[in-house]
Amino acid sequence: MTAPVATIVGEGAFRYEVDETWARLPDGWSLHEVAAVGVDSRDNVYVFNRGAHPVIVLDREGRFLRSWGEGVFKRPHGLHVAPDDTLFLTDDGDHSVRHCTPEGRVLLTLGTPGQPSPFMSGTPFHRCTHSALTPNGDILVSDGYGNARIHKFAPDGRHLLSWGTCGIDPGQFNIPHNIVCDADGWVYVADRESHRIQVFNVNGRFETQWNTVHRPSALCLSRCGCPLCYVGELGPALSLTRDFPNLGPRLSVLDMSGKVLARVGASRPGLAPDQFIGPHGLAVDSHGDLYVGEVSRTFWSGFWPDTPIPDNVRSLRKLRRLTG
């Protein structure tokens, strides 16, 4: 029997073999949609999903380790793994961020669960989207769907400052959808509907912006070697441009000046192994392998309004980095 031909995506030094069957879940389990993915210091993968088991933990080979979070999370959206392997989980349906142990014990809750702040009030939170840590352990939260703010908290949860207003000028936001912070304290915000990544210092001073991305949704930074920024980009939002090529959905690899080093994925959305529909969560392990979570059900009707969502529409894939 002839072995199936592997699907290779990417370009140049950033080429990957697609593994769509990497995750091995217990019989009858479904991820439904994967909003966020994170990797700990042992390359275990945390899958924050909208199925019945919100946090599913897999090892690097995709073997199931444990699950938790049932009955706790209303609408999973963002996940950040801290240096000590604890997790910050952002729930935009619950307007809260929970700091948890790897086994699911809640250490700290930011925001009042179930109680949003007034729409566009600037106060935490109204459908917050993601979180990051500064080098000294302060907590950054992007407050993106009902606010246009970045909030900064002390490790004990005290609110320190906020920045940003709604708009398209530097320092303003049109859905701050994701946030990461590097080892030097520079803060990178995926300003999704402005098609840019804005860069700030740790206290919110605007430094620069990268305009080489289309609707940036997922962000993650490389964990070793040369620093890199990986971006998951969504496809066109308007029906007029849905069939336009080279606008996403896709992944992009950027250096830390915003220069595009590689595009990963086909030029149009679809179900083929080299295509994406809604790349929403992204993580990279110590080997350079990528884990891509998708909210394909959310975006399906935008691309194919007259076609029912397939039962097997994808939610999670591993992209194994090719070397040599």
Q: What is the pLDDT of residues 121-165, one digit of tens each?
A: 999 999 999 999 999 999 999 999 999 999 999 999 999 999 999
> 2 lies in a domain?
no
For residues 47 and 316, the answer to whether their CB atoms sit within 8 Å is yes
> 25 lies in a domain?
yes
Give the number of domains in the chain.
Answer: 1
Res 12 pLDDT > 80: yes
Position 127 scores a pLDDT of: 98
Complete DSSP assignment for 159-213: EEEEE--BSSSTT-BS-EEEEEE-TT--EEEEEGGGTEEEEE-TTS-EEEEE---
Domain around 89: 8-321
Structure token digits, residue 234: 């969504």
pLDDT digits (tens, 9 = 90+) for 95-118: 999 999 999 999 999 999 999 999
> 1 lies in a domain?
no
Position 224 scores a pLDDT of: 67
User: 149: domain CATH number?
Assistant: 2.120.10.30
Position 4 scores a pLDDT of: 67
Q: Kindly state the average pLDDT of the residues 55-83.
A: 98
> 156 lies in a domain?
yes
> 224 lies in a domain?
yes
> 140 lies in a domain?
yes
Band (pLDDT 50/70/90 cuts) for residue 238 is confident
> 303 lies in a domain?
yes
Band (pLDDT 50/70/90 cuts) for residue 311 is confident
Res 323 pLDDT > 90: no
Position 1 scores a pLDDT of: 55
Q: Kindly state the average pLDDT of the residues 58-78.
A: 97
> 136 lies in a domain?
yes
Strands 290-294 and 106-110: unpaired
Band (pLDDT 50/70/90 cuts) for residue 242 is confident
Position 93 scores a pLDDT of: 97
3-state percent helix, strand, coil for the chain, nearest multiple of 5: 5, 40, 55
